[in-house]
Amino acid sequence: MAGILGTGIQDGLLLKPIHYPWAMDLYNQAVANTWFPNEIQLGQDLADWKKMSDEERHAIEFLMSYFNPNELLVNKALAFGVYPYVNAAECHLYLAKQMWEEANHCMAFEYVLETFPIDREKAYAAHVDEPTMARKEEFEMKAIQRMTEQQLDISTTEGKKDFVRNLIAYNIILEGIWFYSGFMVALSIRQRNLLRNFGSLIDWVVRDESLHLKFGINLILTTLEENEDLQTEEFAAEIKQTILDAVEMEEEYNNAMLPKGILGLNADYVNQYVKYLTDRRLEELGFEAHYKVSNPAKWMAAANDTLELVNFFESTNTSYEVNSGKS
Q: 300 to each of 40, 180, 292, how far by Cα in Å? A: 21, 10, 18
270: Cβ–Cβ under 8 A, 6 or more apart, which residues?
181, 184, 185, 254, 257, 258
pLDDT in tens, 85-120: 999 999 999 999 999 999 999 999 999 999 999 888
Answer whether 111's CB lies under 8 Å from 42's CB: yes
More confident residue, 78 or 324: 78
How far is 29 from 321, CA to CA, in rounded Å?
9
Q: What number of other Cβ atoms are within 10 A of residue 325's Cβ?
A: 6
pLDDT in tens, 227-275: 999 999 999 999 999 999 999 998 998 888 888 877 678 889 889 999 9
pTM: 0.88
Answer whether 48's CB lies under 8 Å from 195's CB: yes
- Structural domains in the chain, CATH included, are 42-306 (1.10.620.20)
Q: What number of other Cβ atoms are within 10 A of residue 171's Cβ?
A: 25
Q: What are phi and psi of 193, to 5 degrees?
A: 70, 30
Element (H, E) at 164: helix 157-167
The residues assigned a catalytic role are 111
| Strand-pair partners of 262 | 265
pLDDT in tens, 190-233: 888 899 999 999 999 999 999 999 999 999 999 999 999 999 99
